[in-house]
Structure 1
Amino acid sequence: MAREAKDTPILLVVDLQHGLVEGDPTWGPRSTPNLVENVKHLLQTWRSKSWPILHVQHDDIYDSTNPISAAFPETFAIHSSAAPAGDEKVFVKHTGSAFPAEGLQEAVKSYGYKRIVVIGMDGAQCVNSTVRQGDDLGYSMYVVKDACASYGMDDYEKKNVGAEYTHNAAMWMLMAYSKVTSTENVLKDMGY
């Protein structure tokens, strides 16, 4: 569960790339139909308060056919709903968690803040890894469930469990490592 911290929250935008937000038809539908609207709202809120925003892009260097790789600039690009503004930094990662991305931990530490609010994709994969590692590193983690999204996954019997179920299960699991909240309640949950 989220540690108590009383300081400015960092917004960590994880893998909101064109190829993930728009998806590949073979992946099936994405969860969270209001993802784009909620992402825009949170970015606008953070920017209006001059709070720090850090963006992370996933570059799959291990699978040359993955559209979430710098080899495919159109799908690798940050989605227009989450486009960085001003001096917002972008970090590129090659793993599930955002924290190994070169320079990210130093950037987080440079602010001196302990609260990190995570939005992004995929809730069951990279968001999940990032939140768990952030908790392990001692940060007070928050996840905005309706500003994150997931795709369905096949279970061990090769049956697809669907995007909404996968996303909800991922958010339930993250409750042990973070405060899972909503776009509407995130500021209130942090005491603002």
Structure 2
Amino acid sequence: MATESHQPPILLVIDLQHGLVEGDPEWGPRSTPNLIENVKHLLKTWRSKNWPILHIQHDAFNEPKNPINAAYPKTFAIHNSAAPEGDEKVFVKHTGSAFFAKGLPEAINSYGHRKTVVIGMDGSQCINSTVRQGDDLGYKMFVVVDACASYGMEDYEGRNVGAENTHNAAMWMLAPYAKITTTEKVWKDLGY
């Protein structure tokens, strides 16, 4: 069996669903204008190397009007830019962290290592929850900031914090829990 350092990293694709990638106009613009391009590039590279890719879908089943509720198949569906291919597994979650998706930890562990690269949405919510929990569980987490995106939020005083500022803050807050990297630098950071 290969040592962990020689095993390919897992790409964890979180919540890249039509309803999030395209967004509701009421949410305002999302961050990361090159999100789709960067996601496609990373998926193409992972697939060309036959490295493991695991997809996560968020089903907001307890929020009947949420566009990523499975009751809305069009917006719940995985975005075309990130659509699974071949035997790539899809896990459905109902909480912020992907590690609560039934079978995900077992799937990651079945590859014999814990080096996990995260891309997807929303940086300030599900990406944040997943990365923190992954670190707590002992996984070696990497976050590709320009293959993740966020929407703006309101601060505690009700002021609008734009999408890019929200995303930058969310990614920076993950630095103690993961290696923060970019589409261009991820290979070097992974040791390839």
TM-score, structure 1 as length reference: 0.97
Which residue does 1:21 correspond to in 2?
A: 21
Which residue does 2:174 correspond to in 1?
A: 174
Which residue does 1:38 correspond to in 2?
A: 38
Is residue 187 from structure 1 mapped to residue 183 from structure 2 by the alignment? no
Is residue 143 from structure 1 mapped to residue 133 from structure 2 by the alignment? no
Offset of residue 18 of structure 1: 0.4
Is residue 127 from structure 1 mapped to residue 99 from structure 2 by the alignment? no
Amino acid at match of 2:24: D
1:67 and 1:21 mapped to 2: Cα distance?
A: 11
Which residue does 1:157 correspond to in 2?
A: 157
Which of 1 and 2 has higher RCO (CA within 8 Å, sep 6+)? Answer: 1
1:188 and 1:80 mapped to 2: Cα distance?
A: 28
Pairwise CA RMSD: 0.7
Please list every run of 5 or more consecutive structure 1 residues that lacks an aligned counterpart in the other structure: none
1:41 and 1:55 mapped to 2: Cα distance?
A: 16
- State how 1:68-147 maps to structure 2 within 5 Å: 68-147=68-147
- How many residue pairs match? The answer is 188
Identity %: 75
2:11 and 2:86 mapped to 1: Cα distance?
A: 15
Is residue 59 from structure 1 mapped to residue 59 from structure 2 by the alignment? yes
Please list every run of 5 or more consecutive structure 2 residues that lacks an aligned counterpart in the other structure: none
Which runs of 4 or more aligned residues in structure 1 lie more than 4 Å from their structure 2 counterparts after TM superposition?
none
1:186 and 1:133 mapped to 2: Cα distance?
A: 21
1:73 and 1:61 mapped to 2: Cα distance?
A: 12
1:94 and 1:191 mapped to 2: Cα distance?
A: 34
